[in-house]
Amino acid sequence: MIDIYNELTSIVDKDFVSNKPEELYIYGRDPGLMPAHEPEYVVMPSTVEEVQAIVRLANREKIAIVPKGGGLSLTGLVIPQKGGILLDMKKMDRIIEINEKGSYALIEGGTTHGALKSHLLKNYPHLRHSIPDSPPIATVVANAVIHGQGRLTQQRGFNSDMVCGLEVVLPTGEVCKIGTSAVSDYWFSKGAPLPDLSSLFFGWCGTTGIITKMAVKLYPCKKLRDVMLFLTDRAELVPDIMLKLGRTEMIEDLVVTAQPIPLRYAGNYYILFYITGDSEEELEYKRKYCWHTLWEYFEKRDGGFVSLVPEMKAPLLSMPSKDTTRFADVSKGGGFEYSGPIAPIEKYAVYVKKLEELAVKYNLYYSSAARMIDGGHSMMFSFSYTFNRADAQTMKRAKQALDEAAEYALDNGGVMWKPNLDEQKITIRKMDPNTLELMTRIKKLLDPNGIMNPGNWEVL
């Protein structure tokens, strides 16, 4: 019988291969509610060649392989459902190139958002990328793979829309360039004018290949940034308010928060949005324009702007926001998870009603952050509930609430974002059979042995 551990240490320095129980324990779970399942090996490659060799080994031996970035999805997407090899990408963290004139960054598969942000801030302060509100150890690649959203999503779409090229190790071990880099030295497009193959790797939860390099678009970083806060107590007004603001084409990011605590949040929907400018005059013009865009709500007394004092602005302007981690500790014990459908923004009011109903039904604290996507084509609406990790009953109730929220969202126009296994199943159940068949064929074609993150998108 082949000794996989020794095979792996022949590919990667032995310091970066492990089958020790204490390490397998850590890699067998994530911070969310999905059940743990441990891998048999953990390996940290440094090069694309090492990734290739590991994948070939896994293929040969028909061992499951799960690529992992920050492991922060909360929905168990990198919990190795069938054991096997967990491929921790953290060592592949180089920022290979900043192409200033082409406005993109070329990075390795394990580069974190925090590292890219710092690098740009230090060396290219006039450029920025779309930072998600996850901890800075979230990797750029994994976030794009799950169609993450970030601070530029309101203007530019999903973070995956801002990708402009990939290098992928296919499940059969070949290295493949995706986008213009397949024929040019430049990584300016992930598809056009060629057939866009990048979508073979986004939204598939790591079941179709391992991204070893990615180019992401960079955008102008204005010198000044400010935040505005508009409140309304009528959920049914929220979609129009979001749209009106989006259509000014003046705002950067827009997030609507609904939660009962701290008490200042209770009874209102907090519509938080950001404006940027290269001068105070530009900012002031935008402030005034946004004010007047919402004047009708103000005049009817249905909504109003909060004057934000400096100490209130500082946390709101921080990127990523730390509010998520604060919310996670509302139920002492530090756990939270959200079910996050991507949905039409017109569904805001019914979703928020369901969010509150489920919190009452399952006796949980709740929060929701709805981020507008791409000027209002959709939103990500999070049904978030907290739990105490030391309290199995609360965790069970939270999971039940999330499952029910997912069912509700799917029945009401939403599509689950970074779905956990249960949500994947109900998504598949609802999916057009021909679409499902197409996915099945693609998966079989790319991963004939079914080694890539098995258990996820089990369409075979």
319 binds other proteins (CB under 8 A): yes
259 binds other proteins (CB under 8 A): no
SS3 content of the chain, % helix, strand, coil (to 5): 40, 25, 35
The one-letter amino acid code at 313 reads: K
State which of residues 2, 36, 266, 392 lies at the interface with other proteins (CB under 8 A).
266
Q: Which residues pair with 228 in a beta bridge?
A: 273
SS3 348: helix
Distance CA 252, CA 259 (A): 23
Give least dist CB 281 to other proteins, A.
Answer: 13
State which of residues 104, 187, 297, 327 lies at the interface with other proteins (CB under 8 A).
297
307 binds other proteins (CB under 8 A): yes
Residues numbered 116 to 145 that lie near other proteins (CB under 8 A) are 121, 125, 128
276 binds other proteins (CB under 8 A): yes
Report the residue number, 262 or 433, with the smaller CB distance to other proteins: 262
> Stretches 33-41, 45-53, 194-202, 292-300: which one binds other proteins (CB under 8 A)?
292-300
226 binds other proteins (CB under 8 A): yes
- Residue 244: which of 290, 304, 302, 298 has the closest Cα? 290
- Residue 456: which of 71, 79, 55 has the closest Cα? 79
Distance CA 23, CA 42 (A): 8
- Both tokens of residue 436? 């499902």
428 binds other proteins (CB under 8 A): no
> Stretches 6-14, 37-45, 178-186, 228-236: which one binds other proteins (CB under 8 A)?
228-236
| Sign of the torsion formed by the C-alpha atoms of 138, 93, 147 and 436 | negative
- What does R_g of the chain's alpha carbons equal in angstroms? 22
Report the residue number, 154 or 268, with the smaller CB distance to other proteins: 268
SS3 211: strand
318 binds other proteins (CB under 8 A): yes
State which of residues 182, 221, 428, 436 lies at the interface with other proteins (CB under 8 A).
221
> Stretches 22-30, 203-211, 227-235, 242-250: which one binds other proteins (CB under 8 A)?
227-235
Question: Are 9 and 42 a contacting pair, CB within 8 Å?
Answer: no
Distance CA 349, CA 328 (A): 24
Report the residue number, 67 or 303, with the smaller CB distance to other proteins: 303
Report the residue number, 34 or 127, with the smaller CB distance to other proteins: 127
Taking residue 278's Cβ as centre, other Cβ atoms within 10 Å add up to: 13
188 binds other proteins (CB under 8 A): no
222 binds other proteins (CB under 8 A): yes
- Both tokens of residue 421? 């296994």
- Both tokens of residue 135? 């901890």
Give least dist CB 69 to other proteins, A.
Answer: 23
303 binds other proteins (CB under 8 A): yes
State which of residues 182, 197, 306, 431 lies at the interface with other proteins (CB under 8 A).
306
Distance CA 256, CA 274 (A): 12
> Stretches 65-73, 310-318, 346-354, 437-445: which one binds other proteins (CB under 8 A)?
310-318
State which of residues 288, 326, 361, 396 lies at the interface with other proteins (CB under 8 A).
288
- Both tokens of residue 153? 């999503």
SS3 19: coil
Question: Are 83 and 40 a contacting pair, CB within 8 Å?
Answer: yes
Enumerate binding residues for other proteins (CB under 8 A): 121, 125, 128, 221-226, 231-233, 262-268, 276, 287-288, 291, 295, 297-298, 301-307, 309-311, 313-314, 317-319
